[in-house]
């Protein structure tokens, strides 16, 4: 056998070994590609209804957002009226406090005047009766 024959035998054996290992690898790649294709189809079929629902939800959100923006002025007016009511209640509370203080002072002066009047009357009567 010549050197060329030995080289050809080595090349043939190497190609046979390569084919033996390459065929299962190619079959595995083919199965993976088929699996990826099935996955892509499944994702696409699942994704279409989800996108349709998402579009519906976004439409509803836009409707709700528009309704909220329409009623923003009403809420502002309500909050303004609520603030004015609070201010008026505070004014009434201060007025009631002032009137209460005046009535308390008037009651104290009236009670003092009654006691002083009784005392002066008793002293006057004692002086008159004792003379």
- Consecutive 10-residue runs of the chain (131 residues): their mean pLDDT? 89 91 90 91 86 88 78 84 90 90 88 89 79 48
Q: Where are the domains of the chain?
A: 1-96
pLDDT on residue 33: 92
- Percent of the chain at pLDDT exceeding 70: 98
Query: Given this model, what pLDDT does residue 6 score?
Result: 92
- Evaluated on CA atoms 26, 28, 33, 34, the torsion sign reads positive
Alpha-carbon distances, residue 97 vs 79, 94, 102, 109 (angstroms): 27, 5, 9, 18
Position 130 scores a pLDDT of 53
Sheet strands (E) in 43-111: none
Comparing C-alpha atoms, which of 49, 27, 47, 29 is closest to residue 39? 47
Q: Give the per-residue pLDDT at 108.
A: 86
* CA–CA dist 6, 92 (Å, integer): 117
């Amino acid at each position: 056998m010549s050197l060329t024959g030995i080289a050809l035998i080595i090349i043939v054996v190497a190609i046979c070994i390569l084919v033996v290992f390459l065929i299962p690898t190619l079959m595995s790649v083919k199965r993976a590609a088929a699996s990826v294709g099935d996955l892509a189809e499944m994702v696409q079929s699942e994704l279409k209804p989800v996108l349709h629902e998402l579009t519906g939800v976004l439409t509803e959100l836009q409707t709700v957002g528009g309704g909220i923006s329409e009623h923003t002025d009403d809420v502002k007016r309500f909050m303004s009226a609520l603030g004015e009511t609070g201010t008026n209640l505070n004014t009434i509370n201060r007025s009631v406090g002032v009137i209460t203080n005046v009535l308390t002072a008037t009651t104290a002066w009236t009670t003092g005047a009654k006691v002083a009047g009784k005392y002066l009357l008793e002293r006057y009567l004692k002086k008159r009766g004792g003379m």
